[in-house]
Structure 1
Amino acid sequence: MEINNWVKVILHSLHEGVLIADSNGIVKYINPAYTRITMVSSNEIIGKFLSEKRPGSRLMNVIEGGKELLRVPRKEGDIEYIVNMVPIIEKAQTIGGISILTEMTEMYNITEQLNKSNIMIRNLQKQVKNLAKAKYCFNDIISVDSNSFETKKLAKRISHNDSNVLITGESGTGKELYANSIHMDSSRQNHSFVAVNCANFDSNLLESELFGYEEGAFTGAKKNGKIGIFELANGGTLFLDEIGEMNYDLQAKILRTLQENTVRRIGGLKDIPINVRIIAATNKNLEKMIEENRFRKDLYYRIVVFPLNISALRNRREDIRPLVEKFLNDMASKFKRNIELSEDAFNILYNYDWPGNIRELNNAIEFAANMVDDFIIRPENLPKIIQSEGVKKNIIKFKSLEKIIKDTEVFEIRKAILIYGETVQGKKNAAKALGISLATLYNKLK
């Protein structure tokens, strides 16, 4: 086995140590790195049997067996290294073998760099995952009450358009749930959904989050700058929650971005084209804020193309029972037991005004579930403020069986229509699922 000069030039330039032996185990070549690592010179070993000069070498086993042997740890004095041994095969015959030595310090450096890279990749993946995906769809919205049923129906219609949406309603009514669902039912569903709560940032920080910035734009700016949320949402939907908390001056910059469909980073000189649908939400009266010069009228009309108001829970009380059932089902897996609600307790929940809306109801059910001993929530297990309101209003009452049957019927019919659709075929499928004739379904829909 001969090694030509061109191959020797290449092997001489490697930082890893290289030893090549023929099929008889006679050393044919070592490079300078091999001498550096093992302290064995070419005069000592070339032309000699490897087994004589390097008694611990396992390269001969690789040559005889024809199978590679990888990551074998070795130590020469104070130098630790890893040896990879591979047979050299030509025309299905093993004609020799090669050992490649890598110092452990090199391995440590490579491992450290890989670990750093993997951490960066995981962090970026986590950020993209958290920022760019909607969490809910319309199937997650409970809408049995006529008010919420109509709201959900309107939201589904809005989702099929591409215009901006302003969602209004009290805190805890589910505005973010609707924003997610509109995005997931739109033509942008396969693109980013990025949500930002305007109340969580001061004006300067919010501006840098929305628009991004170039390197050196201000004191503390990250090296290489930072991409803004508008750019992250490009092609998808940007949800601006609590937009009424946004600084008046920043509103002007938002307006310019929406009018021109471009964004300019802080400290930047060029406009970056974007294609973003805005869904904004607020629990404030923006019309009143306009009169008080706290919200820009031109921005208001830019985002209120499709207004959507989410009713307070006290104005859609028929949603309370299915909401309670959902919360109890969610908690069944958490508590590893089924928990029921007594009718007396439900009557209190039904008649309470719920200033905190669905969020408060969820909290009340979780509190009560932790207070029960026999898996049944009774009035005394509810939060004290809800109990006291119940006593004050003397609101414990029963529904008639006729009303309960009618409410259940309405709920099941609406659920079937939502699932199968309002087409003729959809209604036929709904009637079949409900176990009634198509004619009966039409009569009940009237």
Structure 2
Amino acid sequence: MGDSMLSQNQMVDWLEGVIEAIHDGILVIDRSGTVQLINEEYTQITGVKRDQIIGKPLLQVRPSAKLPQVLKDGRAREGVFRKEKSMEYVVDMAPIIKDDEVVGAVSVCKSIPEVYQLSEELKRSRKRVQQLKQAFGRIHQSTYTFSHIIGQNKDLLHMIERAKKAAATNLSILLTGESGTGKELVAQSIHHTSSRSSSPFVPVNCAAIPSALLESELFGYEKGAFTSSNEDGKSGLFELAHGGTLFLDEIGDMPVDLQSKLLRVLQEGTFRKIGGLEEQKVDVRIIAATNKDLPSMVANKKFREDLFYRINTIQLAIPPLRKRKDDIPAILTSLLKEQGNTNIQVAPQAMSTLHQYEWPGNIRELKNAVHYAISMCEGSTISVEHLPDTIRPTTGYRPTDRPRLLEDVLRDTEREVIVSVLNKTGTSVVGKKAAAKQLGISLASLYNKLSKLNIT
């Protein structure tokens, strides 16, 4: 044991080495106020050299020094501003106490530029934390489980069974199906059942975000990455989804150049922010969804073949509503319950009309039709005349001979629902607030829809 003990001189040398390694300026005085030790950083900050001050009373070299006061009162001081000629710095001071007696004092200095830099870094870190809090506040945490998928259709139940098995893995999943079939509901259910359920579920609609902005949304960017960028940079959705699931809806609309960057993240598990130099590791499970024929897009060079195989590890096809019309009564019951209208019944003729319709908009269109019918129905029974014109057979409209696009059908149905509700609530601000509440959307969303649908 004695061989491992340092001699007094060795201990002094060792301590001096430690002090020299400290990035802050250090000055130590003994009980008489004589300077016993400084490090090179102290010289760099104050400009005072070792041979000018070592072994001399501190007040003799620095008449305005505050450290000797610490010897007298034994009280530490923090953040004391000091200036030596043109050198400005901030000092923390503390007494050295042994056997309840003050035997010296130590001064720790930081230059003003360094303090300013640390202060700016702290500000940036606080903004970063706030930005992350706001971003996490916008994250769509999974609220749906497999129990929310209504129906007993054979193909639907087979898809759910496979989805539950897929949820137990960490493999990428591709959800295929027409618009409105409930792909995000399935994605949330998979996430909720997986080992990642306590981590974020982050959805992004690749078709809804302009291609020029999609890269920054996915990967984020560093401070000053481009002219209009946020001065503090931005966190990307990959970063926010770390440990959880990133749901890439309408992935068939992702630009080809961005597909290659997505592929690299999936292969390497790392990404780089726009304007950044460092690679960031990320642990994200990908669930992608599309209503497009990706194999045809691959053949036509509109979608990368290697990315297709990467996201298509497990493919789950969600059947359209027209292939499972027997589920319509159960879905209606669920939708009416969701709207708090369990007392409302659907007349047999109206139910027959719903069964005859082909539902190009699937569950989403059915949900809009139910909202519309509830608004039109003044009693407790939904009849044929309460259904949207696009569904009622009296209009002569049949999906098989329609020249109209699906988006036109959905837009017209949405417009009818909103107009009917506003006819009841009125178009004043109070009326629009009531309409928004009845429609289950925010007032801002209602105003956006009014403008988009040209409703006055």
- What is the aligned counterpart of 1:372 among 364, 368, 377? 377
Q: How far apart, in 2, do the equivalents of 1:164 and 1:174 lie?
A: 18
Q: How does 1:186-201 map to 2 (within 5 A)?
A: 186-201=194-209
Please say if 1:290 is aligned against 2:298.
yes
Q: Show the counterpart of 2:277.
A: 269
Which shifted more, 348-357 or 136-145? 136-145
Q: Show the counterpart of 2:184.
A: 176
5+ unaligned residues in a row in structure 2: which ranges?
1-71, 81-124, 399-456
Q: How does 1:121-270 map to 2 (within 5 A)?
A: 125-131=133-139, 133-270=141-278
Check 1:119–1:314 CA distance in 2 against 1; reply closer, same or farther (3 A cut): same
Q: Show the counterpart of 1:383.
A: 388
AA in 1 matched with 2:377: V
Q: How far apart, in 2, do the equivalents of 1:6 and 1:295 lie?
A: 75
Q: How far apart, in 1, do the equivalents of 2:184 and 2:390 lie?
A: 27
Q: How far apart, in 2, do the equivalents of 1:235 and 1:118 lie?
A: 23
Once the 2 structures are TM-superposed, how far is the Cα of residue 388 of structure 1 from its aligned partner?
2.3
Partner of 2:340: helix, strand, or coil?
A: helix
Check 1:127–1:211 CA distance in 2 against 1; reply closer, same or farther (3 A cut): closer
Q: How far apart, in 2, do the equivalents of 1:295 and 1:389 lie?
A: 43
Partner of 1:278: helix, strand, or coil?
A: strand
Partner of 2:151: helix, strand, or coil?
A: coil
- What is the aligned counterpart of 1:348 among 334, 353, 359? 353
Deviations 1:96-152 (A, max 9, x none): xxxxxxxxxxxxxxxxxxxxx999988754531331621211111113111211111
Deviations 1:405-430 (A, max 9, x none): xxxxxxxxxxxxxxxxxxxxxxxxxx
Q: Show the counterpart of 1:321.
A: 329
Please say if 1:278 is aligned against 2:283.
no
Q: How far apart, in 2, do the equivalents of 1:362 and 1:250 lie?
A: 34
Check 1:128–1:9 CA distance in 2 against 1; reply closer, same or farther (3 A cut): closer
AA in 1 matched with 2:374: A
Runs of 4+ residues over 6 Å off in structure 1: 7-10, 117-123, 389-393
Partner of 1:199: helix, strand, or coil?
A: coil
Q: How far apart, in 1, do the equivalents of 2:129 and 2:310 lie?
A: 38
Once the 2 structures are TM-superposed, how far is the Cα of residue 194 of structure 1 from its aligned partner?
0.7
Q: Show the counterpart of 2:448.
A: none
Once the 2 structures are TM-superposed, how far is the Cα of residue 338 of structure 1 from its aligned partner?
2.2
Q: Show the counterpart of 1:404.
A: none
TM-score normalised by L of structure 2: 0.58
Once the 2 structures are TM-superposed, how far is the Cα of residue 250 of structure 1 from its aligned partner?
0.6
Q: How far apart, in 2, do the equivalents of 1:383 and 1:138 lie?
A: 30
Partner of 2:274: helix, strand, or coil?
A: coil
Q: Show the counterpart of 2:318.
A: 310
Check 1:7–1:295 CA distance in 2 against 1; reply closer, same or farther (3 A cut): same
Q: Show the counterpart of 2:64.
A: none
Q: Show the counterpart of 1:56.
A: none
Identity %: 46
Q: How far apart, in 1, do the equivalents of 2:285 and 2:303 lie?
A: 20
Q: Show the counterpart of 1:25.
A: none
AA in 2 matched with 1:352: Y
Q: How far apart, in 1, do the equivalents of 2:269 and 2:306 lie?
A: 16
Q: How far apart, in 1, do the equivalents of 2:145 and 2:134 lie?
A: 22
Q: Is the contact made by 1:132 and 1:233 (CA closer than 8 Å) also made in structure 2? A: no
Q: Is the contact made by 1:332 and 1:339 (CA closer than 8 Å) also made in structure 2? A: no
Deviations 1:289-336 (A, max 9, x none): 111111000000000000011111000112111101111112235xxx
AA in 2 matched with 1:163: L
Partner of 1:238: helix, strand, or coil?
A: strand
Which shifted more, 119-128 or 284-293? 119-128
TM-score normalised by L of structure 1: 0.59
Q: How far apart, in 1, do the equivalents of 2:75 and 2:189 lie?
A: 66
Once the 2 structures are TM-superposed, how far is the Cα of residue 270 of structure 1 from its aligned partner?
1.4
Partner of 2:225: helix, strand, or coil?
A: coil
Check 1:237–1:309 CA distance in 2 against 1; reply closer, same or farther (3 A cut): same
Q: Is the contact made by 2:181 and 2:363 (CA closer than 8 Å) also made in structure 1? A: yes
- What is the aligned counterpart of 1:358 among 337, 359, 363? 363
Once the 2 structures are TM-superposed, how far is the Cα of residue 386 of structure 1 from its aligned partner?
0.8
AA in 1 matched with 2:349: D
Q: Is the contact made by 1:328 and 1:340 (CA closer than 8 Å) also made in structure 2? A: no
Q: Show the counterpart of 1:414.
A: none
Partner of 2:203: helix, strand, or coil?
A: strand
Partner of 1:265: helix, strand, or coil?
A: coil
AA in 2 matched with 1:388: P
Q: How far apart, in 1, do the equivalents of 2:269 and 2:132 lie?
A: 26
Once the 2 structures are TM-superposed, how far is the Cα of residue 230 of structure 1 from its aligned partner?
0.8
Partner of 1:206: helix, strand, or coil?
A: helix
Check 1:179–1:290 CA distance in 2 against 1; reply closer, same or farther (3 A cut): same
Q: Show the counterpart of 1:92.
A: none
Q: Is the contact made by 2:132 and 2:235 (CA closer than 8 Å) also made in structure 1? A: no
Q: Is the contact made by 2:202 and 2:237 (CA closer than 8 Å) also made in structure 1? A: yes
Partner of 2:174: helix, strand, or coil?
A: strand
Q: How many residues align?
A: 283
Partner of 2:353: helix, strand, or coil?
A: helix
Partner of 2:257: helix, strand, or coil?
A: helix
AA in 2 matched with 1:275: D
